Amino acid sequence: MNLYRHADYARERSFRADVIVIGTGAGGGAVGAELAEAGLDVVFVEEGGYHPTSSFNPYMSESVPRLYRDAGTTAILGRPAIPYMEGRCVGGTTVINGGMAYRAPDEVLAGWERLTKDPAYGPDGMAPLFAEVEEMISARRQRPESVGDDNRIMHLGAQKLGWKSEVNPRAQDRCVGTNNCVLGCPTGGKQSALVSTMPRAMRAGARCLTEFRAERLIVEGGRCVGVVGRSPDPRTRRHHIEVTVHADAVVVAAGAIHTPYLLLGQKAGRPSRQLGRNFLCHPNAKVMAFYPFDVKAWQGVSQWSQVREFRNEGILFAENMIPPWPAGAAMPWHGRKSMELLERYNQMLVTGVLVEDSTTGHVTRGPLGMPITRYDITDWDFHRFVTGVHRLSELHFAMGADMLVLPFRGVHVARSMDDVRKVTVDTVKKRSIELFTVHLMGTARLGARPEGSVVDPNGQLWDLPGCYVADASLFPTAVGVNPQVTIMALAVQVGRRLAERLLGRRARAA
């Protein structure tokens, strides 16, 4: 038996494996596949459920509670608060993300090499790993038949203004542009962990314990040797069954919020006090544009291209069309006004201004099993958001848009650039900007010394032998690009080093 659900724990509550991997997303799937294919007995622990490709559909009614952490109601506290989306299902956030497949830039990796004193994390060391990961997830540019009018407008608009617009590499194999990325790809074209790394691990004999929330690590003799978790009754979400898994090593890949949450509960990360700190999130702001002609942006791939003209300022623009339900929920009006805009849904483009972090936040443990994440954008970030919104608005009006909905409370509607220019850092307050994020990173940073980092260059916690991290928490600094490929490359690195160690130990024992 490879897949376990709540009902299965009634007869089997104790498991044994070589390695436990907590999480099945970009990091967990990649590290688990490496370990399983190396010949190790791997058990995945996944808080969410198992939902195969055949179950994906365009409706939020069941998809959101199935696929999203906390049914999509998660937020980072700060001024402003920033809602974030995270997957909670087999495949993790890769099931609901846009699938961008960018490598971390060389200048970032050069910094990582200095911080870790390990050339494996530098540009030359990471390049072959990136190449392998890109092959795993089939990272490539879209086929022409997957591209819709919204992306044409963005790309041609950038060209018209003389801005650099690049076609994105995406984790996709023959994507046909259903634009259902946020609710799971029903064609199997997007190469999420569900259809790329997890099947590899399953074929190699891994087991996956779903509907199982890891509550604490088992530590014996100062070494991490297992996980205790609970599986709630699926109907009541109460009456938990306690499940225990023992192993030689535990890899935590629960994402940049829940990885530190779990480890802080173990009182780990003490030497540096860095655990939970250094939180990064690439916040972005949406600009909704209405055109006087049909665009049908829900047909065609999301984020075919990115406007990278202002990359040096840490500002990117991308199209990111969403279904009517999040669009209606995000609109700053209700009642008749809301419907008046949504009746123009077929003429609407949703675009985003993505800003590279210039500050960090932190994650702490809150009450009732709830992590508390705090992040405040800086004045510099706010300035860049305002600048980015101005430039993106210029693109839309140049392409014929007749109205924009801007991401500032109280100043939402712009019918011309004159309206947009009224929005400045002096006329709107920083806390009035409406932000959003899906990129959560950097809370258990890699490093060369225990005084300044949480894990060593092998991904092992400095103060908890046998416990490894393999997700976006590892990032020592911001990457400034979509993080999936970098997460997977780091996870592959951690997985290989761990496999060498465990198999070497096994060979010596034999």
State how far the Cα of 274 lies from the Cα of 443, in Å rounded to an integer.
7
- Please state whether beta strands 249-252 and 467-469 pair in parallel, antiparallel, or not at all (unpaired): parallel
The full 3-state SS of 143-172, as one line of letters, equals CHHHCCHHHHHHHHHHHHCCCCEEECCEEE
Residue 65: CB minimum distance to other proteins, A: 4
Q: Does the footprint of other proteins cover residue 39 (CB under 8 A)?
A: yes
Q: Does the footprint of other proteins cover residue 6 (CB under 8 A)?
A: yes
144 upstream amide cis, omega within 30 of 0: no
- Respond yes or no: is residue 51 known to be catalytic: no
Judged by CB under 8 A, the residue of 12, 13, 14, 57 near other proteins is 57
Judged by CB under 8 A, the residue of 106, 324, 413, 424 near other proteins is 324
Residue 270: CB minimum distance to other proteins, A: 27
What are the C-alpha distances in Å from 431 to residues 77, 100, 210, 326, 408? 11, 29, 39, 22, 9
Judged by CB under 8 A, the residue of 9, 56, 212, 408 near other proteins is 56
Q: Does the footprint of other proteins cover residue 131 (CB under 8 A)?
A: no
Judged by CB under 8 A, the residue of 223, 240, 374, 409 near other proteins is 409
Q: Are 223 and 207 in contact (CB under 8 A)?
A: no
Q: Which is nearer to other proteins, 301 or 464 (CB)?
A: 301
Residue numbers 222-241 binding other proteins by CB under 8 A: 234-237
Q: Which is nearer to other proteins, 272 or 299 (CB)?
A: 299
Q: Are 292 and 380 in contact (CB under 8 A)?
A: no
- Please state whether beta strands 207-209 and 213-220 pair in parallel, antiparallel, or not at all (unpaired): unpaired
Please give the angle made by the CA atoms of 115, 501 and 29, to the nearest 5 degrees: 75
Residue 329: CB minimum distance to other proteins, A: 4
SS3 363: strand
Judged by CB under 8 A, the residue of 12, 124, 294, 451 near other proteins is 294
Q: Does the footprint of other proteins cover residue 506 (CB under 8 A)?
A: yes
Judged by CB under 8 A, the residue of 12, 14, 59, 167 near other proteins is 59
- What is the 8-class DSSP label of residue 346? G
- Please state whether beta strands 315-319 and 305-307 pair in parallel, antiparallel, or not at all (unpaired): antiparallel
Q: Does the footprint of other proteins cover residue 156 (CB under 8 A)?
A: yes
Judged by CB under 8 A, the residue of 9, 51, 133, 392 near other proteins is 51
Q: Does the footprint of other proteins cover residue 191 (CB under 8 A)?
A: yes
Residue 509: CB minimum distance to other proteins, A: 12
Judged by CB under 8 A, the residue of 295, 404, 440, 488 near other proteins is 295
Stretch that binds other proteins, among 122-130, 170-178, 257-265, 449-457 (CB under 8 A): 170-178
Sign of the CA dihedral running 259, 264, 267, 270? positive
Judged by CB under 8 A, the residue of 2, 14, 378, 424 near other proteins is 2
The two three-digit tokens of residue 506, written as one number? 């096994």
DSSP, residue by residue, 221-275 = TTEEEEEEEEE--TTTS-SPEEEEEE-SEEEE-SHHHHHHHHHHHTT--TTT--T
What are the C-alpha distances in Å from 329 to residues 59, 72, 100, 133? 14, 12, 25, 36
Judged by CB under 8 A, the residue of 103, 200, 213, 396 near other proteins is 200
Residue numbers 203-222 binding other proteins by CB under 8 A: 203-206
- Please state whether beta strands 42-45 and 207-209 pair in parallel, antiparallel, or not at all (unpaired): parallel
State how far the Cα of 479 lies from the Cα of 51, in Å rounded to an integer.
31
Number of amino acids touching other proteins (CB under 8 A): 117
Q: Which is nearer to other proteins, 210 or 274 (CB)?
A: 210
Q: Does the footprint of other proteins cover residue 461 (CB under 8 A)?
A: no
Residue 27: CB minimum distance to other proteins, A: 18
Residue numbers 12-31 binding other proteins by CB under 8 A: none
Residue 196: CB minimum distance to other proteins, A: 6
Nearest to 374 by CA among 454, 278, 285, 452: 278
Stretch that binds other proteins, among 118-126, 255-263, 287-295, 420-428 (CB under 8 A): 287-295
Residue numbers 330-389 binding other proteins by CB under 8 A: 330-336, 338-339, 342-343, 345-346, 366-370
User: Which residues belong to the active site?
Assistant: 439
